[in-house]
Amino acid sequence: MALAEIERLLLEQWHQLGGPRGFEYCNHIDSPAELAAAGDWDLILWAGGRWSLDDVKRKELGCGMRVGEAEDVLVFELRGFGPARRGDARPTRLEDLAKLAATDLTSAACQAAASAAPEAGASCQFKVVLRFARDGDPGAGGAKGKAPPPVAWLWLLGLPAELKAAKAAAGTTAGKRPRKDLDSMPAALNVELECLGIRGEGTPGHGPLVDARWLPCLQAAVTALQERIFFPSSVSVRWVDASYWSADQVVCSLPVGPGKCTPLVLIGDAAMGKPFYTGTTLNVHLAEVKALSRLPVIRWGTAQDAGPGDDDRRRARRYLVDESLAAITPLLPYEQRYRELLLRTPAFHRRQP
């Protein structure tokens, strides 16, 4: 079934459940409290993304964010590939990049680095991850019916500590410079190095020369990757914070009035996430939402008629726990599942010492 058809069916079902207010577009919501004030909700699911709640709001809700393993990496965005094979005039296709991504690009980069400066040793232990897709720019496909050309992203990890220190010294400007397309990966790298005030022997630019043993390694690795990845002719580079992050808890109690609380559940990147290059974050999010939907408390649509004595039982439960805990108690199994998920991945730094 095509994705468009799946989306159409889901929208139809949601309209049946949500009624005329099932979807509201262009309605800016800054916090769960604003959403709670807009209606009488049984449950609020917050899927606004990693940065949708600032630290103050998270602290108030008890769902503060912790960053686990984190690393500054360089990401090259690649377009305009040459032929995939020598003597072949056919342009590089998506399947060519798929085959290339399955090969060991890390070894190619490290071997080139070691040959350029054997004395650098462990300071040039890179890791390479390649991701690819069809270019989504309007008109990228050219003639009608022609598939758009591919675009790829190469993540270069394991960068030298001196380079990361230079990026940190540059502050926020290192990550907010306008993107500049150049004709090769080495050219894009050299421009970035110059912006950071790093220039070695034979490197074009106007900055002061830097005596860094790792610099020839880095340049050789990027040059080797330029050749392996079909000589892209339109290249830009940017810094990315590749980190693992997680909320202290995902099931929260949201006060909405005197003596009343609404359960709030964080889902998606608002709850947790991994670096993009791992390629597993979306699958984790889908699995967690599926688990949430299976809880007995989740019932989509019209509420079931209350049975005899239900009101008495609800009134009795009010004296067992306060209203904030009563609101989230049916969702605590999901909270427990979330915490077990974090403990299975050491990179989240959630394990007790």
Kind and range of the H or E run holding 78: strand 65-79
- Average pLDDT of the chain? 83
For residue 46, with 0-12 CB atoms within 10 Å meaning exposed, 13-18 middle and 19 or more buried, which class applies?
buried
Residue 3: per-residue pLDDT = 63
Output the six-digit token pair for 287: 């699995």
The position carrying tokens 């889908």 is: 286
Indicate the pTM of the whole model. Answer: 0.74
CA–CA distance, 353 with 177 (Å, rounded to integer): 40
**Is the model's pLDDT at 169 over the cut of 60?**
yes
Tell whether the model's pLDDT for residue 137 goes beyond 80.
no
Max mean pLDDT range (9-18, 110-119, 298-307): 110-119
Q: What is the pLDDT of residues 225-284, one digit of tens each?
A: 999 999 999 999 999 999 999 999 999 999 888 878 899 999 999 999 999 888 778 889
* Closest residue by Cα to residue 62 from 263, 240, 204: 263
Q: Check pLDDT > 90 for residue 177.
A: no
User: pLDDT at residue 172 above 70?
Assistant: no
pLDDT at 352 over 90: no
For 41, how many CA atoms within 13 A lie in the half-sphere containing its CB? 25
- The pLDDT score that the predictor gives to residue 1 is 60
Confidence of residue 176 (pLDDT cuts 50, 70, 90): low
Highest mean pLDDT among 129-143, 179-193, 289-303, 319-333: 179-193
Residues 38 and 31: their CA atoms lie apart, in Å, by 11
pLDDT(71) > 60:
yes
